[in-house]
């Protein structure tokens, strides 16, 4: 029978000790045959209730488990507990971190570190780049969300589709804007303004290199974004290209060009 039936129990098998190998033994059968019949290795808490191990002088009903040895060999640990040459209470293996202050092993999974996994960026559609094995970089559209366990994750989406797919963030990097003038939608991912959606007004050189002059924008139902008063300065590496439809980009092109002309006339000679 494939399942145990109390009314039809398994047949009892009587074996000689020399004809049985311990479950965790790795030695060939020819070597194990040379062992002394009175030498029994230390049990590893493995017992099969359907097999009874007996010796030639014992009856079939004399016992129900493998007999223990008369003397137990040295069972000291394989390491010296007094040796503190290496701290074994904190071990990092891949994304699994074992850390304990009282010496016990406590394992916890950690989310891979990624520049875009921030709560300020939840719900912001981003354009990112994924590095493949052959070195090729392919653009993707992702959105940062919070899963059922409260951990931040990346969900890949396709325009004009409601389906999303969770992806690993280890090979994902933000697509930074280029130096050329562009009124496209950007998301600030670093600094005090992280999480804000902005549009470029102008690019200028600073002591730290090229920085962007941007204005924060808010989406509206009428197409063109609402522009928040004030200007922000941010380096290109602190920004990521955000996803927007072509319709929204066209609706904002004229007003952002107007903002650009105003900035040039007021700030440049």
Residue 198 dihedral angles phi and psi, to the nearest 5°: -135, 165
Weakly modelled stretches of the chain, pLDDT under 70: 1-4, 6, 9-10, 21-113, 181
* 132-142 pLDDT tens trace: 777 778 889 99
C-alpha–C-alpha distance, residues 29 and 20, integer Å? 9
Task: Kindly state the DSSP code that residue 128 receives in the 8-state scheme.
Answer: E
pLDDT value of residue 222: 76
**What is the reported pTM?**
0.57
pLDDT value of residue 137: 81
Both structure tokens of 31:
């070597």
Pairing of strands 226-227, 137-146: unpaired
- Judging by beta carbons within 10 Å of its beta carbon (0-12, 13-18, 19+), is residue 248 exposed, middle or buried? middle
Torsion sign, CA atoms 258, 259, 263, 264: negative
pLDDT value of residue 42: 42
pLDDT value of residue 73: 55
The phi-psi region of residue 216 (left if phi > 0; otherwise alpha if psi is between -120 and 50; otherwise beta) is beta
C-alpha–C-alpha distance, residues 259 and 141, integer Å? 28
Task: Kindly state the DSSP code that residue 8 receives in the 8-state scheme.
Answer: B
pLDDT value of residue 65: 57
* 193-234 pLDDT tens trace: 999 999 999 988 877 777 899 999 999 877 899 999 999 999
């Amino acid at each position: 029978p494939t399942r145990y039936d109390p009314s039809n129990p398994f047949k009892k098998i009587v074996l000689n000790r020399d004809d049985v190998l311990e479950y965790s033994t790795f030695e060939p059968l020819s070597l194990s045959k040379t062992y002394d019949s009175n030498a029994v290795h230390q049990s590893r808490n493995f017992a099969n209730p359907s097999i009874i191990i007996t010796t030639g002088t014992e009856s079939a009903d004399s016992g129900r488990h493998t007999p223990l040895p008369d003397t137990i060999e040295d069972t000291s640990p394989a390491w010296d507990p007094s040796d503190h040459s290496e701290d074994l209470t904190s071990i990092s293996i891949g994304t699994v971190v074992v850390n304990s202050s009282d010496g016990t092993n406590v394992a916890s999974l950690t989310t891979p570190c990624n520049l875009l996994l921030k709560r300020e960026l939840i719900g912001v559609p981003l354009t990112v780049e994924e590095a493949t094995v052959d070195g090729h970089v392919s653009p993707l559209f992702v959105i940062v969300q919070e899963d059922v366990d409260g951990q931040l994750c990346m969900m890949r989406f396709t325009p004009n589709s409601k389906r999303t797919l969770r992806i690993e963030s280890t090979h994902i990097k933000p697509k930074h804007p280029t130096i050329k003038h562009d009124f496209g939608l950007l998301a600030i991912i670093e600094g005090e303004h992280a999480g804000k959606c902005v549009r470029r007004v102008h690019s200028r050189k600073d002591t730290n290199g090229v920085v962007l002059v941007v204005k924060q924008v808010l989406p509206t139902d009428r197409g063109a974004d609402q522009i928040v008063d004030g200007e922000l300065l941010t380096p290109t590496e602190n920004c990521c290209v955000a996803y927007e439809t072509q319709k929204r980009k066209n609706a904002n092109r004229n007003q952002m060009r107007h903002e650009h002309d105003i900035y040039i006339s007021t700030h440049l000679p």
